[in-house]
Amino acid sequence: MEITSYRITPIAFADPPLRAAFGLHAPYALRTIIEIETDAGITGVGETHGGAQVVEDLEAVRDLVIGRDPYQLNALEALIWPSGDHTARTSTPWTGALRSPARTFGAIEVACLDIIGKATGRPVCDLLGGRVRDQVEFSAYLFYKHAGAGGRFGFDMNPAATGGWSAALQQEALDAEALVVQAQAMVAAFGFKSLKLKAGVLPPDEELRTIALLRAAFGPDVPLRLDPNANWSLETSQRCARQLQGVLEYYEDPVDGKAAMAQLARTVDLPLATNMCCVSFEDIVETFQQGSVQIILGDHHFWGGLRATVELARICRVWGIGLSMHSNSHLGISLAAMTHLAAAVPNLTYACDTHYPWQDEELIVGGKLQFQDGALAVPTTPGLGVEIDQTELARMHQQYLDCGLTHRNDEIEMQKIEPGWAAIRPRF
């Protein structure tokens, strides 16, 4: 089989004004869609981070992809992400240093696995060793936010959304009480059984109060996670840990960097997790030797694809490190890939993060994937089990061109509502 066509399409879709340590989400989130066609008439799809640099990286390898056999992933990886070449880092404001070759190859690998799955009549999880579970659990991802739905509605409410989650997702949530209302609406709509709070936004005591109210509202059987995105000092992290001990399932990136996380780990009795200080295989030795974390949040989009993340899982298992899953704003192709991956990794025992409920738009045929009791059923159809609606893809591409955004910058968005705001870390 030979790859005959390689299409890279940048898209934008509405994203509500969510807050994080880096600032504010823009009215549109950016993603990139990969479509790879073969001479067998089979097309595979992938989805990855968005913006001009991502498109440039993917276009740069066009000649390496065309004419290749999609089954020969090792050969393709050697071309796109050669071992030993660890110089090409792309710095992003939200996850630190990400390797662009890992991201580029990962996106292409997912599309190739979709092709192989379709050619062999097997779901992608079967290509990763087969499923160890039929349902993949996801976690509610809670954000402090301003009123509005993003997109053309910006900071205004969408008048068409009159009930359920689509109305609730537009509500302002800038204190503990409002956050609990948001959590209740999200859990009622999707059935999530664990809750993650994006922190590092309000003064820490208000965020601790939010955790306390969530615990009171949902009870001790609903695991809670807190992610200040390295926006707390070591001292603040230690002080807050005393109140979070026995309450949190894990404490995600309160401080910045492997060394500070290791220092924190020695002084607190809470499992520490990261998607910031350990984001590539080259980070592993130092992270594990220092004892910086007990849990890694993997993400096939920047760890180098689905097979690389399976390898990460085995390394974690050997070292007794837990594995959870990180997310950015994304659509259904990414969610399907995450679900196949989670289905095939025995030690991915934490509910996965997902931003999916925050996105109203979708470009897969049949519309948004549906959570049942906080979980997605692992697809049984060949490949990823999702197809692109070309009309929606074209519309979202036009939206990308029209919105004028070419890369994510939460600091600039924040300055639009708070002039002079700077993304200094640690803020607290």
Active site residues per annotation? 198, 326
Question: Residue 275 or 287: which CB sits closer to Mg ion?
Answer: 275
Question: Residue 115 or 255: which CB sits closer to Mg ion?
Answer: 255
The least CB distance from residue 253 to Mg ion, in Å, is 5
Burial of 183 from C-beta contacts in 10 A (0-12 / 13-18 / 19+): buried
Residues 250, 251, 253, 258: is their CA dihedral positive or negative? negative
Kindly indicate which of the ranges 24-32, 210-218, 227-235, 379-387 contains the residues binding Mg ion, using the contact rule CB under 5 A.
Answer: 227-235
Tokens of 260: 């500070």
Residues 95, 98, 100, 105: is their CA dihedral positive or negative? negative
Rg (CA), the chain: 20
Taking the mean position of all CA atoms in its chain, how far away is CA 75? 27
129: phi then psi, degrees, rounded to nearest 5: 110, -5
Tokens of 36: 């790879």
Question: Residue 73 or 316: which CB sits closer to Mg ion?
Answer: 316
Question: Residue 275 or 309: which CB sits closer to Mg ion?
Answer: 275
Sequential DSSP letters for 327-368: --S--HHHHHHHHHHHHH-TT--SPBP--GGG-----BTTSS
* Coil, strand or helix at 274: strand
Question: Residue 227 or 360: which CB sits closer to Mg ion?
Answer: 227
Question: Residue 77 or 227: which CB sits closer to Mg ion?
Answer: 227
Q: Write each residue from 255 to 294 as x if it is in contact with Mg ion (CB under 5 A), else as -, in one continuous string.
A: --------------------x-------------------
Of the candidate residues 47, 57, 227, 360, the single one contacting Mg ion (CB under 5 A): 227
Nearest to 384 by CA among 338, 343, 341, 337: 337
Q: Judge contact between 23 and 414, C-beta under 8 A.
A: yes
Question: Residue 49 or 118: which CB sits closer to Mg ion?
Answer: 49
> How many amino acids of this chain bind Mg ion (CB under 5 A)?
2
The least CB distance from residue 196 to Mg ion, in Å, is 9
Q: How far apart are CA 232 and CA 96, in angstroms?
A: 16
The least CB distance from residue 250 to Mg ion, in Å, is 10
Residues 324-353 that bind Mg ion (CB under 5 A): none
Q: How far apart are CA 378 and CA 239, in angstroms?
A: 41
In the block, residue with structure tokens 């056999």? 69
* Neighbouring-strand partners of residue 23: 20
Contacting residues for 176 by C-beta, under 8 A, at least 6 apart: 206, 209, 210, 212, 213
The least CB distance from residue 153 to Mg ion, in Å, is 27
Kindly indicate which of the ranges 110-118, 133-141, 223-231, 391-399 contains the residues binding Mg ion, using the contact rule CB under 5 A.
Answer: 223-231
Please give the residue ranges that form the binding site for Mg ion (CB under 5 A).
227, 275
